[in-house]
Structure 1
Amino acid sequence: MTKTLERFTTESLLPKSTQVVIIGGGIVGVSAALTLAERNIPVVLIEKGHVAGEQSSRNLGWIRKTSRVAEDVPLSLAADKLWQQMPERIGRRVGYQQAGIMFVARSEAQMQAHESWFESVKALELDSQLLSTREVSSLVPGGKTDWVGAVYTPSDGRAEPALATSAMAQAAAKKGAVIIQNCAVRGLSMAAGKVSGVVTEQGEITCEQVLLAGGAWSRRFLSQHGVSLPTLPLICSVLRTKPMQGPTDIAVGAPDFSFRKHQDGGFIITQRGALDAPITLDHLLVGHRYLDQLRHQRGFLRIKLGKHFVDDLKLARRWSHHKPSPFEKIRTMDPAYNAGLNSEALTNLKNAWPMFEQAEIEEAWAGLIDVTPDSNPVIDRINAIPGLTIATGFSGHGFGTGPAAGQLAADLATGSAPLVDPAPYRFARL
């Protein structure tokens, strides 16, 4: 994981009861806890490891509307407002800047895809623009690639994942949320046909509602209760450079690399054209749901059968609430980064913008992403288990919408008017 992750000390004693229990200390769960605490609703957030230990601190930090499907844009717009308000809301800055995001096209086919997206969101009145070759060179100077063009949204932005979720959690705790770290939830307690609490390794806590925001662990947790959530894992490798002079403050995504400025003056870089796809047993169980994605992403997924398959197979899929669960065996999912992919990204970037020849790598890491068949999350109440709401399956773009997704999940869990129309995120679509 990134060595810049900010950690903090929290409660160690599990309360006996509360109104809402949140499972998972990533940005969505923490945002929900912050929302509920501000509404004076008793809430306990329980995290098996430490807050933001997994993908919430390992992502690229992009906050974008660009290239999101039209039905997902309202949540992104709501998130923009919440990110803007965050310093006043939590009393700290988390590196948020609306510096813009640009996706450049190397071919006419790639540019046509950007144009199609641009047309699909015209009714939403975004500030997105289609750029010419010359406009790309003007906004991101010093390159030697004649890009066909680009799509650019000036109001898109970034924040620092190593700071944001932890800072929000600290604020939530100050406002009354109880946050318990290093405590795994083993399962749900049921009474009279609905959720009555959760069983943890420290004992049971009773509640009226449970919100599951467990990221890549959500599928395993739900399967214990007879709910099949179709998600599969992908691993994204990332590097951060030492402080250096760069071409722009705009975050840039190319077909085979991306970069964005880090608050310390370096750059966060990844191979945007490839992700590792470790084969697991779940591929045999739900892989057929992804055939359409595979047809459109040939060459994008680096499929591997190896250690990840064995490690995943060793983890139980059924367990007693009175014995250690898989979540206690692996407190923090910490996949090894792919040095080859990072090298590809940096080489491709140097070829496009030679000033990155001066780049020195400060650190590298990887994160495990949970992907749904349509790459949209599930934020919904689960009809089969009254009292349970889930917010998961964010498919690698949950950080940007995290504050809004957490608020929407809190709304649904407590019966408040939803922040945005939740229809695009209903579980039934899957």
Structure 2
Amino acid sequence: MPGPTPIHVEGDTDLPQSVDVVVIGGGIIGCATALELAEAGQRVAICEKGGIAHEQSSRNWGWVRISRRDPREVPLMAEAIRLWRDLDSRTGRDTGYRPAGICFVCEDEATFEGYNRWKDHLLPYQMQARMLRPAEMQQMFPDANLQGVGALYTPEDGRAEPQKAAPAIAEAARDKGAHILTNCAVRCVETEGGSITGVVTERGRIACTSVVVAGGMWSNLFLGNLGIDLPSLGVVSHVLRTDPVEGGPEQAIWTTNYAMRKRDDGGYSISAGSGNTVEIVPNSFRYATRYLRALKMQHRDLHFRLSGRFFHEARRAKSWGEGDVTPFERERVFDPAPSPRMLNSLMARVGAAFPALKNATVAQTWAGCIDVTPDAIPVISAVDSVPGLHIASGFSGHGFGIGPAAGGLMADIVLGRTPRVDPHEFRFSRFTDGSRVAPQLGY
């Protein structure tokens, strides 16, 4: 079954001869970057090999959360929540954003104390977070049967609709003069004297002085053709949605067994709280040593799968020229198959905890591929070796909620204006300067 269908964004028919910035990738990060740049008066073109938000930007859980974030992401996520509050009025379109709160259930006292320490990261941002004990959880969810010693509850967290958000941001960027070019893969980046001078797309050349690579799981392959190594691996998340249900919770809820949030249509998006699939591909061996620390921390939450994807990627071209048909034209959308084994037990678990969902009908199942860096935080950075080249990728499953602020920070860097948060932790050079990078627990 194909993934969710985002609101259709019609691509422009005319290719601009020249812009200031080409953004490669039409997910939420690329669209948010383009909107910020267009609002600043820049001439921008979004080049997307498929359609706007056809991959992970429409397939994610739809959570807009600061809770349980890596501490290095907290300042940027605080800015993102501020932007989400006004995003509908800013874009003139409905993104489905609701500040409904998110509850992370703790199975044991060690986790409870860890979350209790983590919430101190919010103190500089005047954002609320509090710890709940079982009696308070029962008050919040009176009809539920939640198992655990307590929970972290962050009322200012919320949700939005992935199928609406990136298309709304893209159309708002077009309102400000940006070009939206769908089914238009970028093949090569042109330079002169080492600096960016343009890109060559499958439809022709666009002159520019800056390029932002926001291609999600495809960024590693694209940058590799330029001789730039962005370490990232794909992790597949499996999701289902139900038909509308009466009496379910307004708040999003995470447990180790399931994660769920209410949708605008009254149904629920549900996934495993822990248990993503790692596709074994050639890059798995290439980057094995870089991911050892992450694997030690998270091996219980990962399921490794060897499939035909290994051979597909092994055969795929790793280098090409401007006249060649690229892998991005041969595979417009990566649509991984959801795992029935992982999804079949979800409704039973959710129904046991929430009787209102016990007989809910599953309307759709899907999977999406997350691009994960060795330290599980993104790259939002200039590439020092190629003036004018920038990367906004590697969001490691955290990109949807943080997207508006990540696009804003990327625009700050492209324009050379004062960054809204310190971008040091997101620098690309951390993978090339000998820094020891590793994930940090979200508490």
Q: TM-score, normalised by structure 2?
A: 0.94
Task: Give the secondary-structure state (helix, strand or coil) at the position aligned to 2:299.
Answer: coil
Residues 313-392 of structure 1 aligned to structure 2 (within 5 Å): 313-392=314-393
Checking the alignment, whether the CA contact within 8 Å between 1:133 and 1:147 is kept in structure 2 is yes
Q: 1:121 to 1:82 in 2, by over 3 A?
A: closer
Amino acid aligned to 2:89:
E
Task: State the partner residue of 1:398.
Answer: 399
Q: 1:280 to 1:228 in 2, by over 3 A?
A: same
Task: State the partner residue of 2:221.
Answer: 220
Task: State the partner residue of 1:71.
Answer: 72
Task: State the partner residue of 1:6.
Answer: 7
After TM superposition, give the deviation of residue 351 of structure 1 in Å: 2.5
Task: Give the secondary-structure state (helix, strand or coil) at the position aligned to 2:96.
Answer: coil
Checking the alignment, whether the CA contact within 8 Å between 1:131 and 1:151 is kept in structure 2 is yes
Task: Give the secondary-structure state (helix, strand or coil) at the position aligned to 2:77.
Answer: helix
After TM superposition, give the deviation of residue 398 of structure 1 in Å: 0.3
Rounded to whole Å, the distance in 2 between the matches of 1:404 and 1:120 is: 18
Rounded to whole Å, the distance in 2 between the matches of 1:110 and 1:346 is: 25
Amino acid aligned to 2:139:
S
Rounded to whole Å, the distance in 2 between the matches of 1:164 and 1:84 is: 13
Matched, 1:138 2:139: yes
Give % identity: 41
Matched, 1:240 2:241: yes
Matched, 1:297 2:298: yes
Q: Which moved more, 1:158-167 or 1:286-295?
A: 286-295
Task: State the partner residue of 1:175.
Answer: 176
Task: Give the secondary-structure state (helix, strand or coil) at the position aligned to 1:50.
Answer: coil
Q: Which moved more, 1:338-347 or 1:303-312?
A: 338-347
Task: State the partner residue of 1:194.
Answer: 195
Task: Give the secondary-structure state (helix, strand or coil) at the position aligned to 2:143.
Answer: coil
RMSD: 1.4
After TM superposition, give the deviation of residue 4 of structure 1 in Å: 4.3
Rounded to whole Å, the distance in 2 between the matches of 1:283 and 1:18 is: 37
Q: 1:109 to 1:347 in 2, by over 3 A?
A: farther
Checking the alignment, whether the CA contact within 8 Å between 1:379 and 1:422 is kept in structure 2 is yes
Matched, 1:410 2:411: yes
Count residues in correspondence.
430
Checking the alignment, whether the CA contact within 8 Å between 2:213 and 2:391 is kept in structure 1 is yes
1:164-187 Cα distance to aligned partner (Å, 9 max, x none):
111111111121001100011012
Rounded to whole Å, the distance in 1 between the matches of 2:193 and 2:44 is: 22
Rounded to whole Å, the distance in 1 between the matches of 2:344 and 2:316 is: 32
**Runs ≥4 in structure 1, deviation > 3 angstroms?**
1-4, 119-125
Rounded to whole Å, the distance in 1 between the matches of 2:305 and 2:177 is: 45
Q: Which moved more, 1:129-138 or 1:261-270?
A: 129-138
Rounded to whole Å, the distance in 2 between the matches of 1:331 and 1:4 is: 14
Task: State the partner residue of 1:263.
Answer: 264
Task: State the partner residue of 1:112.
Answer: 113
Amino acid aligned to 1:371:
V
Q: 1:4 to 1:326 in 2, by over 3 A?
A: closer
Task: Give the secondary-structure state (helix, strand or coil) at the position aligned to 2:227.
Answer: coil
After TM superposition, give the deviation of residue 301 of structure 1 in Å: 0.7
Task: Give the secondary-structure state (helix, strand or coil) at the position aligned to 2:86.
Answer: helix
1:277-333 Cα distance to aligned partner (Å, 9 max, x none):
000111111121111111121221110111111122221111122111111111011
After TM superposition, give the deviation of residue 119 of structure 1 in Å: 4.1
Task: State the partner residue of 2:437.
Answer: none
Rounded to whole Å, the distance in 2 between the matches of 1:120 and 1:41 is: 35
Q: 1:405 to 1:110 in 2, by over 3 A?
A: same
Checking the alignment, whether the CA contact within 8 Å between 2:50 and 2:182 is kept in structure 1 is yes
After TM superposition, give the deviation of residue 10 of structure 1 in Å: 2.0
After TM superposition, give the deviation of residue 57 of structure 1 in Å: 0.5
Matched, 1:98 2:106: no
Task: State the partner residue of 2:212.
Answer: 211
Rounded to whole Å, the distance in 2 between the matches of 1:346 and 1:313 is: 36
Checking the alignment, whether the CA contact within 8 Å between 2:336 and 2:369 is kept in structure 1 is yes
Rounded to whole Å, the distance in 2 between the matches of 1:376 and 1:67 is: 13
Task: State the partner residue of 2:53.
Answer: 52
Q: Which moved more, 1:85-94 or 1:212-221?
A: 85-94
Q: 1:4 to 1:226 in 2, by over 3 A?
A: closer
Rounded to whole Å, the distance in 1 between the matches of 2:126 and 2:72 is: 14
Checking the alignment, whether the CA contact within 8 Å between 1:244 and 1:358 is kept in structure 2 is no
Q: 1:177 to 1:308 in 2, by over 3 A?
A: same
After TM superposition, give the deviation of residue 94 of structure 1 in Å: 1.1
Q: TM-score, normalised by structure 1?
A: 0.97
Task: Give the secondary-structure state (helix, strand or coil) at the position aligned to 2:403.
Answer: helix
Checking the alignment, whether the CA contact within 8 Å between 1:271 and 1:344 is kept in structure 2 is no
1:327-353 Cα distance to aligned partner (Å, 9 max, x none):
111101111111221123222222222
Checking the alignment, whether the CA contact within 8 Å between 2:262 and 2:268 is kept in structure 1 is yes
